[in-house]
Structure 1
Amino acid sequence: MNKRKKWGIIALVICIIGGIVMFSLNHQKEKTLEEKMRIEQDRMALYLVSHYEKVEKIEFTSFQQNKLTGTWTSNAIVNDEIFVTFSVQNLMTEDEIGFGQHISQSNGNKLIERDNPEVINSDSLMSNITVIYWVR
């Protein structure tokens, strides 16, 4: 085998290994984003249950970032009839959660705000709530 073929094979092997490494790093990044989105959905669900009465089911229908502002928004349907939107500036921070109800889209139905938001253990608040997560 001459020198030229050996160097060609070595270069090919290096390119293949480099491609595998790049794919692995990119795949890990996507998985991390999925985990962050799941944690934020948990935080949004806890916010909703803490601040509003008679929440039994939360189904997240979208989760996306506005590239222009950097804000993340998530739409959800509460109790199969009330449409809401959450927003946060950054994932995985204790930033304030923005919240809005779409009363006209919900046929006049709306959530009733609690007089005193619950600040007890999140496990006890969420134990009877069905949460359906959005996954991209």
Structure 2
Amino acid sequence: MLVVNKKRWWLFSLVAILIIGIGGETFLNKEKEEKKISDQELAIKKKMAVFISQNYENVETISFGNFSQTKDTGTWHIVTTVNSNSLIQFDLNNLTKNSNFNISYNKETFFLEKKKQPGTSLNLDEISIDYGGEKHANR
């Protein structure tokens, strides 16, 4: 009787260790994937911030919303507020660092002036940027 209980205890212990190990690995893999996506989204948002600063006059603040995806087409979208009064929507085919994007805006909710000579500088030091959850005041 004692031998049977020891075998059951060892079997139960082995199964518990396997379940915990597999569950822990799954959790860590999911966490790594979420971090990778988060890093990619941040890189894309920085690319968009550079685009805005290079193409529009007097940009002081940029605030990003969250990405959303149209299930039918797979296209990604994000709405960005510039200077608290101008809305721009960015559309992307995928969320990779090298993604190209299209912009659209409603003339009634967009008050920025396009630069006559678009800049080439990547300097965002004079702009307060909220990447969604994190504020990066570069001033």
TM-score range, shorter chain: 0.7 to 0.9
* Aligned equivalent of 1:9, options 13, 17, 22: 13
Q: Which residue of 2 aligns with 1:22?
A: 26
* Aligned equivalent of 2:61, options 57, 65, 78: 57
Task: Give the whole-Å Cα distance in 2 for the aligned partners of 1:27 and 1:96.
Answer: 27
Q: 1:91 to 1:30 in 2, by over 3 A?
A: same
Q: Deviations over 1:91-112 (max 9, x none)?
A: 22434321112232x2xx5221
1:82–1:103 contact (8 Å) kept in structure 2: no
TM-score normalised to structure 2 length:
0.83
The answer to whether residue 35 in structure 2 is matched with residue 31 in structure 1 is yes
Which AA in structure 2 matches 1:117? Answer: P
* Aligned equivalent of 1:92, options 89, 93, 96: 96
The answer to whether residue 75 in structure 2 is matched with residue 71 in structure 1 is yes
The answer to whether residue 81 in structure 2 is matched with residue 83 in structure 1 is no
Give the % identical residues. Answer: 24
Greater RCO, CA 8 A, separation 6+: 1
Tell me how large the CA RMSD over aligned residues is.
1.6
* Aligned equivalent of 2:106, options 102, 109, 118: 102
Task: Give the whole-Å Cα distance in 2 for the aligned partners of 1:100 and 1:93.
Answer: 20
Q: How many residues align?
A: 129
Gaps of 5+ in 2: 134-139
Task: Give the whole-Å Cα distance in 2 for the aligned partners of 1:34 and 1:87.
Answer: 18
- The offset of 1:53, in angstroms, is 1.2
- The offset of 1:36, in angstroms, is 0.9
Gaps of 5+ in 1: none
Task: Give the whole-Å Cα distance in 2 for the aligned partners of 1:93 and 1:62.
Answer: 16
TM-score normalised to structure 1 length:
0.85
Which AA in structure 1 matches 2:9? Answer: K
- Structure number with greater Rg is 2
Q: Which residue of 1 aligns with 2:131?
A: 133
